[in-house]
Amino acid sequence: MDSICYVSQRRSYNGELCTIRYAGKVEGTTGEWFGVEWDDPTRGKHSGEHQGVRYFACKSKHPTAGSFVRPSRAADKPRSFLEALREKYASEFEEEAARRRRGDAASGDALHKPIEISGKIVEEVGFDKIRKQLAELQELKIVLLDGLQVAGVIAHEISAEQFQSVCGEIEQTCPKIIELDLSRNLLNRWRDVASLCASLKRLKTLKLNGNRMESGEEGLIFERITELQLDSTLLSWDEISHLTYQFSSLTTLTASANQISSISSPLSSTITTLALEDNEITSLSSLRKLTSLDSLNRLSLRGNQIDKIYESSSEEASPLRFSNNLQSVDLSRNRIDDWLFVNQLSLVFPGLQTLRISGNPLYNQPVGSSMVIGLPEKTMTVDEAYMLTLCRISTLKMLNYGTITEKDRSNGELYYLSLVGKELSAFPESAEREILAKHPRYSELCHIYGEPVIRRATVSTGSGAIVNPRSVAARLLRITFCLRRELPISSPPDMDQDDASNHEIKVKEIPRSFDTYQVKAIVSRLFGLAPYEFKLIWETDELDPVSKQNIDDEGGWDSEDEGTNAPQPNDSSVFVKREVELVDSTKDIGFLFQSELTEAKIRVEIAA
């Protein structure tokens, strides 16, 4: 067994990071094994089990995060902090310096031979100067050491005295670092991180994303860190909460992609910005512990599974309310699909001024199905989604990264009022209270802009029966299709081609949301015709005046001068029914037939 191995140790194999979760024998095999959990959960083969026996548990919920590897398998060499720093920022300069120290005069002279132009020696400006600037480690302020197999202050065990000497060297080598990125490395112990922070006296921002840290250790203090990033560390919420109290100056915390489903304990009251993106949060009420953060100003919940305010109806008895100081909230890419959720945001976040809520299924719904019965069921546009959101939250100043102008607000609120008016018009007066309960800003907006015009109406069928506009029947159109079949040549000479017996009639109820292609497919099945063999003519009940003279004129009227020669209806005019062809289109037939119309007659004509 590897003598320096321990459970929770971080390792890298061919650039693939993992954490040792088990060391020992595996039943049914020979020799010793390491049970490892891969940072990339698709890299493994199981979750710590072999032949029904569990040997270790993975923090990741992915079913293939674990594997067994032999202790003899060669691991990538870990680096100390200074080794990684010098390799990243000073390797080229130090190699050049080493060549000089070795007395490699030829190489040095070739590299630094003066440049002559027209016999004059000029100074080389640019690359050499940049290389020297990068090599000045003492001047570095932002250091990125992500993915360099950094194990900590040192890469192997040394004495306490040697350890303190290395910490002193770090302090002298790079004293001006204010931002340090140690993401996706081999870190796992907080005491190593604390030693680094203590050596970097000006450090403010610390990024540890993708490491697999052990639980926080008591007694550690991180005094100057104001921003801490712990994305994809798989730390539990309680571990994260405990850590924040050790960072006495912490104001910004990101803890995204950590499988967090609920907030079980509060955070340090110093936090002003919090990111909990790509976790497993399903309701805003699961964040109730955060309402005690009076200083919290920005909260990002992007990419979770939120679809409701309260997890259960019993929670509604204790209203959820965050501090007025919380002004910016990101709810994009969740599972919000109800406008009632948006209506409540101003109650949950009374200080809300900046909201991002794009990428939710709410905006994939038809406007008509969610607001007004009788409107064409088309997916709302970006502009409609924008207006229908801002009109519900009076305090908003920015929505989905766009600044809300006074014109945007008035347009959105007027559009919203008109939709509410149409919804009220589509239902009987007895339903008004129930409808307005879904629109809490209605009275306020009526006070500002005036009440919308409400014209309540009912829809009647041809038989005189009243149809509730909310019912399925009101969304169906009863169509009578009429096809005249041509008589065969052998028909008796006295048989009238227009005889009613030659007409084939079919009646079908069709949803208004169908387009012409779908209607033609139905007609094709009803009459056994190919879709390209016929056209559909709607025989409307509307009359058009036509001059008798023009009826007799076989050539028809085709003047381009509409102002002087256009036929005018007069006493000698007759009226004919207007006919409209249903041209091939993806547009709903509901756009063609008015909502009051419940029956129509369509003539099926065989194409010539």
| Residue 13, domain member (yes or no) | yes
Same-domain check for residues 439 and 481: no
CATH of the domain at 58: 2.30.30.190
Pick from 205, 184, 197, 195: nearest CA to 154 = 195
**Residue 224 DSSP symbol:** S
CATH of the domain at 507: 3.10.20.90
Enter the tokens of residue 545.
């005046």
- Structural domain tally of the chain? 3
Give CA–CA dist 453/361, Å, rounded.
Answer: 31
pLDDT given at position 95: 53
Contact (CB, 8 A) for 229 and 208: yes
The pLDDT value recorded for residue 551 is 38
| Amino acid in the structure at residue 529 | L
Check if the beta carbon of residue 480 is closer than 8 Å to that of residue 602: yes
In a domain, 113, yes or no: no
- pLDDT at residue 100 in the model: 52
Tell me: do 506 and 414 sit in the same domain.
no
Q: Of the candidates 31, 55, 76, which is a domain's last residue?
A: 76
61 assigned to some structural domain: yes
Q: Within the chain, which residues score under 70 in pLDDT?
A: 1-4, 91-135, 367-378, 457-474, 486-501, 543-575, 594-596, 608
Residue 246 lies in a domain: no
**Cα–Cα distance for residue pair 326/416, rounded to 1 Å:** 27
| 427 located within any domain | yes
Cα distances from 171 to residues 91, 133, 153, 180, 225, in angstroms, run 19, 19, 11, 14, 16
Q: Are residues 44 and 72 in the same domain?
A: yes
Contacts 24+ apart (CB under 8 A), 436-440: 438/339, 438/340, 438/343, 439/343, 440/343
409 shares a domain with 521: no
d(CA 387, CA 339): 12
C-alpha to C-alpha distance for 197 and 606, rounded to whole angstroms:
84
Q: Find the helix or strand (DSSP H, E) in which 559 lies.
A: none
Interatomic CA distance for residues 490 and 427, integer angstroms = 58
Euclidean distance between CA atoms 374 and 364, whole angstroms:
18
CA 382 distance to own-chain centroid: 14
Domain carrying residue 374: 365-392+403-458
Residues 517 and 411 occupy one common structural domain: no
Which of 27, 46, 76 is the C-terminal boundary of a domain?
76
Shared domain for 477 and 579, answered yes or no, is yes
Q: Are 598 and 476 contained in the same domain?
A: yes
Determine, yes or no, domain membership for 478: yes
Taking residue 78's Cβ as centre, other Cβ atoms within 10 Å add up to 21
Distance of alpha carbon 154 from alpha carbon 199, whole angstroms: 13
pLDDT of residue 177: 96
Domain end point (choices 53, 76, 99): 76
Within a domain: 369: yes
Residues 434 and 480 in one domain: no
**CA pair distance 364, 345, nearest whole angstrom:** 20
How far is CA 493 from its chain centroid? Answer: 72
DSSP designation for 222: B
Neighbours of 112 (CB within 10 A): 11
* pLDDT score of 143: 95
The helix/strand/coil state of 479 is strand
Q: CA separation (Å) from 304 to 65, 123, 261, 265, 283?
A: 22, 57, 9, 19, 9
pLDDT score, position 574: 59
Listed in order, strand segments (DSSP E) in 136-270 are 142-144, 150-152, 179-181, 205-207, 227-229, 252-254
Q: 445 with 476, same domain?
A: no
Contact 41, 59 (CB under 8 A): no
From CA 420, how far away is CA 424, in angstroms rounded? Answer: 6
Residue 98: which residues within 8 A CB-CB, separation 6 or more? none
CB neighbours of residue 591 within 10 Å: 12
For residues 422 and 536, state if they share a domain.
no
| pLDDT score for 216 | 73
Residues 6+ positions from 39 with CB-CB distance below 8 Å: 16, 17, 18, 19, 184, 210, 212
| CB 553, CB 511: distance < 8 Å | no
**In whole angstroms, what is the distance from residue 332 CA to residue 393 CA?**
16
Q: What are phi and psi of 52, to 5 degrees?
A: 85, 0
Cα 28 to Cα 258: distance, rounded to the nearest angstrom: 35
Coil, helix or strand for 606? strand
Same domain, 520 and 479: yes
Measured in whole angstroms, the distance separating CA 374 from the mean position of its chain's CA atoms is 30
> Which residues, in sequence order, are bridge partners of residue 206?
180, 228
Coil, strand or helix at 533: helix
Helix (H, G, I), strand (E, B) or coil at 366: strand
Those residues whose C-beta lies under 8 Å from the C-beta of residue 224, and which sit 6 or more positions away, are 197, 201, 202, 203, 204, 249
Examine the domain organization and report whether 407 and 479 are in the same domain: no
In this prediction, residue 499 carries a pLDDT of 52
Q: Model pTM?
A: 0.70
Is 41 inside any structural domain?
A: yes
